[in-house]
Structure 1
Amino acid sequence: MPGILLISTSILLTALALWRAPKAELHTSIEIEATPERVWELLGNPESYSHWNPFIVSMQGELVQGGRLINQLQTSQGRRMQFRPLVLKVQAARELRWRGRLLFPRIFDGEHFFELQPVQRPDISRPRTRLVHGERFRGLLLWWMDVEEFRPDFERLNLALKSAAEQ
């Protein structure tokens, strides 16, 4: 009987931990001297990633809601990773969003996003776009990791996109 009680308690605690998995968010932004349409020419074109993107060095698949991508990452620490996110939202020249997952839901989920916002100020004459780039994380692994470790790679991507769009 004590064995059944121990197993039942373990299952209950695991289910509770999965249901109440920790959450974290990472947000970065940069202003790009180009129209949202010009920025989207790069961001919305998976084949171009290998030419300008130092973080997501390869993207295969079509950017359509419900589609699957195959993304190859190269971190600034030299680690290579592959993941197959589900495309959640594609709105040309406005927003791109996908969700990646490690093994099962709530182990380590990430909803990655790019938002393109036109910048309109009377003191600037050339078109500009504010890129908001980030990820919302959720999962048990967040108890042992700090999402801030991804910030340098997100910022590297932002600077590379800015450089490519402004050429």
Structure 2
Amino acid sequence: MKTVRTEITIHAPAEKIWNILMDFEQYPYWNPFIKKISGEKKQHGKLEAFIQPEGQSGMRFRPTIQKYEPNREFQWLGNLWFSGIFDGRHSFKLIPLENGSTLFIHAEQFTGLLVTPLWRMLYAPTLKGFESMNVALKQRAETL
């Protein structure tokens, strides 16, 4: 298993950040990493997503929501071709802080046969994509 994990403090309440994350229709206008996402916003809901790290070709996939806890955590599991080859458990966690801000943790755990051979090629663009999305989310939450 390999993991990419980032975090950022956003000066906005978790509820506001959650609402931005769940407004899938607006992703193309603010999200530099997840260019498009749609689907059922519920536990075990099916999604269709298109991600494109900067300078990379994009990837379309159809993950299933594993955790849907409003204002706390949104997590999906996707795979390349079929389970066990290249699987990614993508998560967004919102942790309220005492000052009214929120710690946003954006992570993905990768498992499967192709993870190790592809890791060197995958890590840097994924990390950069997460970080750019985090900054864009912070800016949107703090200015809306």
Same fold (TM over 0.5): yes
Report the counterpart of residue 4 of structure 2 in structure 1: 26
Report the counterpart of residue 112 of structure 2 in structure 1: 139
Following superposition, which runs of at least 4 residues in structure 1 exceed 4 angstroms of deviation?
Answer: none
Shift of 1:151: 0.3
Q: SS state of the match for residue 111, structure 1?
A: strand
Matches of 1:85 and 1:111 in 2, distance apart? 9
Deviations 1:31-53 (A, max 9, x none): 00000011011012211212211
Counterpart check, 1:164 vs 2:137: no
Shift of 1:62: 2.0
Between the two proteins, what is the percent identity of the paired residues?
39
Q: 1:14-163 counterparts in 2 under 5 A?
A: 23-120=1-98, 124=99, 127-146=100-119, 147-149=122-124, 150-163=126-139
Q: SS state of the match for residue 152, structure 1?
A: helix
Q: Is the 8 A contact 1:44 1:92 kept in 2?
A: no
Which ranges in structure 1 are unaligned for 5 or more consecutive residues? 1-22
Could you state the TM-score of these two structures normalised by the residue count of structure 2?
A: 0.92
Q: State the aligned residue count.
A: 140
Could you state the TM-score of these two structures normalised by the residue count of structure 1?
A: 0.80
